[in-house]
Homo-oligomer: A and B are copies of this chain.
Amino acid sequence: MTQERAKTSLSDFLPFLLFQAAEVSSRNFQQHYQSRYGMLRTEWRVMFHLGSVGDQTAKQICDRASLHKTKVSRAVKALERKRFLKRITIEADRRSELLCLTKHGKTAFSELTIVASNFDQQLEQSLGANDHKTLITTLQKLIALPQHNT
Q: Which of A45, A122, A135 has the most chain B CB atoms closer than 10 A to its own CB? A: A135
Interface of A, helix, strand, loop or mixed by DSSP = helix
- Is B16 a contact partner of A48 (Cβ separation < 8 A)? yes
Contacts of A134 in B (CB 8 A): 131, 134-135, 138
Q: Is A73 an interface residue (CB 8 A)?
A: no
- Residues of A93-150 contacting chain B, CB below 8 A: 113-120, 122-123, 126-127, 131, 134-136, 138-143, 145, 147-150
Given contacts A18-B139, A131-B138, A134-B135, 8 further A-B contacts (CB under 8 A): A10-B49, A12-B140, A13-B120, A14-B135, A15-B22, A18-B21, A115-B150, A126-B148
